[in-house]
Structure 1
Amino acid sequence: MPVTPFHFGLGAALHSAAPKRVSFLSFCAANVLIDVESLYNLVLGQHPVHAFMHTFVGATLMVVATVALFLVLRSFASKFWLPNPFGWQSLLVPPVALGAALGAYSHVVLDSVMHADIQPFSPFSSANPLLGVIPLGTLHLALLVLAALGVAVVGLRSLHSGGGNAS
């Protein structure tokens, strides 16, 4: 399924471990941007569904695109009024870049475990050594547990500090 929320569990855990260093918003944005390709291929009935953006080379381009999109939107927001949910306009580039990189590369790894049409090392290799290394149910459960832990840590930290963390 394109834009699966399972990926976000890892992002929640990573953000909760380093909230000032890892942007959860850019983690999610990179994941969604990568899956635009899959949605496009599904709608048009093209194969493979998981193509170029589901490679480490494609993911690298999505990291750059995510950071560029953030910079463009932040510049636009300074000239025009844009909503600022989760305080995204005050995020710094390093956490946005790290969140995007973790999101994009983990997306390729996680999808490589579960989708046979992915060639994560393309154009250098058509092999997918990650396919099936973890049973799908175990993978989904681990991502749900990570999501619960991440949300719990962020929630407890927010209650303790009396405020929220930038995403």
Structure 2
Amino acid sequence: MPITPFHFGPGAAIHAIAPKRVSFIAFCAANVLMDVEPLYYMRTEQFPLHRFFHTYIGATLIVFLTVALFIAARAVANRVRLPNLFGWRELSTVSVTIGAAFGSFTHIVFDSIMHSDIRPFAPFSDSNLLLRTIPLDILHWSCVLAGAFGIALMLLRKLRRASC
């Protein structure tokens, strides 16, 4: 299933560890943008589902696209009233870039472990050295636990700030 929330767990953990340096919004946006590709191929019943954007070259372009969309949204927000959900207007371009990069590249790593149709090093190689290196239940639980860790750390910080 494309756009799986499992991908977001590690993003929550990374953001919780470095909240000012890593944008969780950009992490999630890059993951969603990347999964538009298999969603399209799934809807049109074309296989393989994971193609260009599920390569490291494609993931790099997703990073640039995510940052470009953020910059464009910020420019539009200066002229049109856009809601500032989750404080996205205050994010720096650097934190968006880092979040998008983590989002794109972890997406490739996790999907390489899980999906047999991914060729992460294309066009240089058709190999997928990560396929099934970790059992899927361990991969999924690791993502869930990373998300739980991230949420717990963010809540702990918030409680600590509220008590001061």
For normalisation by structure 1, the TM-score amounts to 0.96
Secondary structure of 1:19's match? coil
5+ long unaligned stretches in structure 2:
none
1:13 matched to which residue of 2? 13
1:120 matched to which residue of 2? 120
2:23 matched to which residue of 1? 23
1:101 deviation in Å? 0.2
1:102 aligns with 2:105: no
After TM superposition, list the pairs within 5 Å mapping 1:1-167 onto structure 2.
Answer: 1-162=1-162
How far apart are the structure 1 equivalents of 2:53 and 2:21? 25
> How many residue pairs align between the two structures?
163
Deviation above 2 Å: which 4+ runs of structure 1?
A: none
1:152 deviation in Å? 0.4
1:106 deviation in Å? 0.4
5+ long unaligned stretches in structure 1:
163-167
For normalisation by structure 2, the TM-score amounts to 0.98
How far apart are the structure 1 equivalents of 2:156 and 2:85? 20
How far apart are the structure 2 equivalents of 1:74 and 1:38? 28
* Aligned sequence identity (%): 54
